[in-house]
A and B are shown apart, each in its own frame.
Chain A
Amino acid sequence: MKGGAKVVVEQHRHAGVFIARGKEDALVTRNMVPGESVYGEKRIAVEQEGGDKIEYRVWNPFRSKLAAAVLAGVDNIHIKPGAKVLYLGGASGTSVSHVSDVVGPEGSVYAVEFSHRSGRDLVNMAKKRPNVIPIIEDARHPQKYRMLVPMVDVVFADVAQPDQARIVGLNSQYFLKNGGNFVISIKASCIDSTAPPEAVFAREVKKLQEQQLKPKEQVTLEPYERDHAVVVGVYRPAKKKEQ
């Protein structure tokens, strides 16, 4: 995005997320490592009143399910400055880098990825971002990385596996604190390619409920992804009568 002076950056409804208003609006996050792009995304530098510059990175909803969910109007992503996030399915770390921007230096992202090919990129990205903890391990076996992860505020999952509800449940049991939140992206065709997507989503939601993961809202990611939904909820919510 050229002509930095003409671009105005506004705070988004979600803390740590911003909107750059220029010729075209774009979703952006504040770059933790100014001067560097992670995957060739555009950067926008905005001059502050004192003359200092703050750099933002454009967050492409076609490449990140979380960005798509934000633009789809999800009520709450729970990923905010200072939060500890367990990120399952980190892949090459493109989305992880934006989550790292959002949580900022006070937060941390524990990024789990099983594939060695993309894991290499994830590890390299994490070298420059001290709030990203790369874990090359199978998310199906959280006990293998139990020494590396503390109790977290949010579990985010984009694993696209048929048993993903079980994977999220298992990880929550180990690492997600009571009343913590989960954000899970569901790709219908990865779970059952013969059933209609709505039926698949409903079935997954039921599986989550059985594991004390209480869904609060669901958004579909049209037009950025086809037959995808993001479900956001709370883990082991405090009982009403106690409050």
Chain B
Amino acid sequence: MTQFLLFESASGYGLFEVTASDELAQGSDAVQRSVENMERFGKVVKLSAFKPFTSAANALEQINAVSESQITDDLKNFLTTNLPKVKKEGKAKFKLGVSEPKLGSAIQEETGVPCECNEYVGELLRGVRQHLATFIKGLEDKDMARAQLGLAHSYSRAKVKFNVNKADNMII
């Protein structure tokens, strides 16, 4: 059984493959320790694909969907092209680890990819978050920070502006 991980960042979607899962199966304490060290973590988890967002508008569309646990066409295409094919329902030889169960079930419904979301996946994703810039060539920490800043502004501005009935009402 191969284990994949989906990581959503402000710059794009990343797909990772866990290559040495036996080593990690020793319990969450061992996972935590190997996650800290890139030398060890890099041997355990490998980048298999990364799809950068095409524009700021595209990134905003993706985060709006992801935060509501919906699957976008971009994410669907990314997963179907980069994951092994699923021939029969329930017969896949791999699993996709996701950060949130609802998004997992949305993916499973749309693509048939079996998803899982548990503490172990959470620990691995912590490691990916920490070492993301080392995994992806040409992506520096400061590029990442810039992408986060830009996306956060457009995401938050839309929230503040788009308040049909969510505005907190003042009691007079």
Q: Which of B25-84 contact A (CB under 8 A)?
A: 32-33, 35-36, 62-63, 66-67
A119-B160, A147-B10, A178-B32 known; A134-B167 Cβ under 8 A: no
Asked if B32 and A148 make an inter-chain contact with CB atoms under 8 angstroms apart, the answer reads: no
Other-chain residue from A119, A147, A236 in contact with B63 (beta carbon distance below 8 A): A147
Interface segment among B88-96, B106-114, B151-159: the answer is: B151-159
Asked if B99 and A236 make an inter-chain contact with CB atoms under 8 angstroms apart, the answer reads: no
B2 on the interface (CB 8 Å rule)?
Answer: no
Cα(A137)–Cα(B151), bound, Å: 14
A126-B153, A148-B152 known; A173-B163 Cβ under 8 A: no
Asked if A178 and B148 make an inter-chain contact with CB atoms under 8 angstroms apart, the answer reads: no
Closest to B123 in A: A173
Taking CB atoms, residues of chain A closer than 8 Å to B9 are 147
Asked if A151 and B153 make an inter-chain contact with CB atoms under 8 angstroms apart, the answer reads: no
A77 on the interface (CB 8 Å rule)?
Answer: no
Asked if A116 and B36 make an inter-chain contact with CB atoms under 8 angstroms apart, the answer reads: no
Other-chain residue from B126, B145, B157 in contact with A123 (beta carbon distance below 8 A): B157
Asked if A151 and B148 make an inter-chain contact with CB atoms under 8 angstroms apart, the answer reads: no
Cα(A175)–Cα(B153), bound, Å: 19
Asked if B32 and A133 make an inter-chain contact with CB atoms under 8 angstroms apart, the answer reads: no
Within the complex, what minimum Cβ distance (angstroms) separates B100 from chain A? 5
Q: How many A-B residue pairs have CB under 8 A?
A: 91
Number of contact residues on B: which range applies? 35 or more
Taking CB atoms, residues of chain B closer than 8 Å to A216 are none
Chain B contact residues: helix, strand, loop or mixed? helix
Asked if B99 and A117 make an inter-chain contact with CB atoms under 8 angstroms apart, the answer reads: no
Cα(A136)–Cα(B42), bound, Å: 34
Taking CB atoms, residues of chain B closer than 8 Å to A126 are 153
Within the complex, what minimum Cβ distance (angstroms) separates A160 from chain B? 15
Closest to A134 in B: B156
Asked if A116 and B163 make an inter-chain contact with CB atoms under 8 angstroms apart, the answer reads: yes
Interface core residue of A119, A122, A236 (most chain B CB under 10 Å): A119
Cα(A147)–Cα(B155), bound, Å: 11
A116-B168, A133-B152 known; A147-B66 Cβ under 8 A: yes
Taking CB atoms, residues of chain A closer than 8 Å to B160 are 116, 119-120, 123, 136
A135-B152, A143-B100, A236-B32 known; A148-B10 Cβ under 8 A: yes
Other contacts beyond A134-B152, A175-B129: 11, CB < 8 A: A110-B148, A116-B166, A119-B160, A135-B156, A137-B67, A147-B66, A148-B152, A149-B148, A150-B130, A151-B129, A173-B126
**When A and B form their complex, which 4 residue pairs have the shortest distance between CB atoms, in order from nearest?**
A136-B159, A144-B67, A136-B156, A151-B130
Give B residues with C-beta under 8 Å from A. 8-10, 32-33, 35-36, 62-63, 66-67, 99-100, 122, 126, 129-130, 132, 141, 144-145, 148-149, 151-153, 155-157, 159-160, 163, 166-168, 170
